[in-house]
């Protein structure tokens, strides 16, 4: 199991820490997201140990899982935050975040979002285009402030991950061509509403090798040399996020395996004064959560067998979107039941509504299943397609548990809709 030891099998029942998952399903129903506080803390401590005694800031990538309880956990542990919208800014502030430890990424920042971030005094805007730079400078001048900026450069480095989550190639929409960045930095220096503070790079997600990061770092060091020759000095280097987790047989690196050579390269280059920023998301929360779902029907055909469950692509979009793999484990594994090969599918009217394919499982109708590694990009990507209420979320600590988001009701889904009068 990828998420062990925080989801152990004890006495024939899968647990989360010291609670049987079956008890939580009975109490809160299914589908149900369950998160382990111990797993969140352990994942954080991996990064904390890697930056110990170094000038570094870890900014949790909010898009991975934006529940207030999860954000508050990381705020209490000392995290900064990487946001990509005004909505995420409001969330992290509600969770107690220090604005001076927030970086704002994303290609399409709207005027109201920029104003909101300037008003609270965030650490930095990661700027992704010349047009955004101009808008940011104009708004900052209107407000009588200077916007701290870092250009997100695109180094044209292959992150060797799924093309939908690769962000550092020339054909991707993200960032500024690294060869054009010096001219844009010179332009930014002339804008009175801006203050240049850093350089940013983010090459992708679910990366399980260090070499793409180091390839990008080499290009960033060359860029920093060019900027220094122009008299432009920086305060930080943001390497983004993207470290992978184990979904099946991956062997993700420890954060120290990335950071040790990064700090060594900076020291060797005479840049030891630069603060290093990382923006991990998935690697902090991915294996800290599971999605509980119950088998509604077993359907056997000549071609394949289906386990039709009460969770669906609106609860976990990754398989339909990326053909992503998630482990599937019975909460109470059966003995004496024939094992068949099943596709785990949901009730949504789409052929793409599947959670797992070709899994060998001994199943009966009514069985409870745990979909592994659902702490990242599960609820945060959830929808209400087919007028399906989004699932509840629960946080567990030992034997304690808290409902951190109640299940929506069907009435909630159309409560804000209005039928106009007929004329």
Q: Active site includes 124?
A: no
- What number of residues does the chain have? 423
Taking the C-alpha atoms of residue 51 and residue 78, their distance in angstroms, rounded to an integer, is 12
* DSSP for residue 353: -
Taking the C-alpha atoms of residue 8 and residue 333, their distance in angstroms, rounded to an integer, is 13
Question: Do 203 and 159 touch, CB atoms closer than 8 A?
Answer: yes
Q: 269-275, long-range: CB within 8 Å, 24+ apart, which pairs?
A: 269/221, 269/224, 271/221, 271/224, 271/237, 273/55, 274/55, 274/234, 274/235, 274/236, 274/237, 275/55, 275/56, 275/57, 275/198, 275/235, 275/236, 275/237
Provide the CA 317 distance to its chain's centre, in angstroms.
14
Dig out the tokens for 164 from the structure: 């939908």
Taking the C-alpha atoms of residue 404 and residue 34, their distance in angstroms, rounded to an integer, is 10
Q: Where are the alpha helices (DSSP H) in 54-129?
A: 68-77, 86-94, 111-120
Please tell me which residue in 59, 124, 201, 349 is annotated as part of the active site: 349
Question: Do 137 and 147 touch, CB atoms closer than 8 A?
Answer: yes
Residues 6+ apart with CB under 8 A from 362: 330, 333, 334, 335, 337, 338, 339, 340
The Cα-based distances of 327 to 3, 290, 322 in angstroms read 10, 10, 15
Catalytic residue numbers, as ranges: 349
């Amino acid at each position: 199991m990828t998420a062990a030891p925080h989801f152990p099998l004890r006495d024939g029942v899968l647990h989360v820490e010291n609670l049987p998952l079956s008890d939580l399903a009975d109490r809160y129903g299914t589908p149900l997201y369950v998160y382990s506080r111990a797993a969140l803390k352990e994942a954080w401590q991996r990064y904390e140990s890697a930056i110990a005694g170094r000038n570094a800031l870890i900014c949790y990538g909010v898009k991975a899982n934006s529940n207030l309880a999860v954000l508050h956990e990381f705020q209490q542990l000392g995290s900064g935050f990487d946001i990509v919208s005004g909505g995420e800014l409001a969330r992290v502030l509600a969770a107690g975040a220090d604005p001076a430890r927030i970086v704002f990424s994303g290609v399409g920042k709207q005027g109201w979002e920029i104003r909101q971030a300037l008003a609270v005094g965030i650490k930095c805007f990661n700027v992704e285009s010349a047009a955004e730079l101009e808008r940011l400078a104009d708004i900052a001048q209107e407000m009588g402030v200077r916007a701290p900026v870092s250009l997100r450069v695109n180094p044209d480095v292959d992150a060797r991950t799924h093309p939908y989550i690769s962000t550092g190639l020339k054909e991707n929409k993200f960032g500024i061509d690294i060869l054009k960045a010096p001219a844009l930095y010179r332009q930014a220096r002339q804008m009175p509403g801006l203050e240049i503070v850093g350089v940013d790079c983010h090459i992708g997600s679910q990366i399980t090798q260090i070499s793409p990061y180091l390839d990008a770092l080499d290009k960033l060091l060359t860029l920093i040399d060019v900027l220094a020759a122009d008299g432009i000095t920086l305060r930080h280097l943001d390497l983004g996020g993207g470290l992978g987790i184990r979904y099946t047989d991956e062997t993700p690196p420890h954060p120290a395996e990335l950071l040790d050579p990064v700090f060594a390269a900076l020291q060797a280059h005479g840049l030891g004064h630069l603060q290093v920023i990382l923006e991990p998301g998935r690697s902090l929360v991915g294996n800290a959560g599971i999605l509980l779902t119950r088998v509604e029907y077993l359907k056997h055909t000549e071609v394949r067998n289906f386990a039709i469950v009460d969770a669906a692509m609106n609860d976990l979009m990754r398989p339909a979107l990326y053909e992503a793999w998630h482990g599937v484990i019975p909460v109470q594994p059966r003995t004496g039941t024939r094992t068949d090969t099943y596709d785990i599918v949901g009730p949504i009217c789409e052929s793409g509504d599947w959670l797992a394919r070709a899994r060998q499982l001994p199943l009966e109708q009514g069985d409870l299943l745990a979909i592994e590694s659902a702490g990242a990009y599960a609820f945060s990507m959830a929808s209400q397609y087919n007028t399906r209420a989004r699932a509840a979320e629960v946080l567990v600590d030992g034997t304690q548990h808290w409902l951190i988001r109640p299940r929506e009701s069907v009435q909630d889904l159309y409560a804000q809709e209005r039928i106009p009068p007929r004329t």
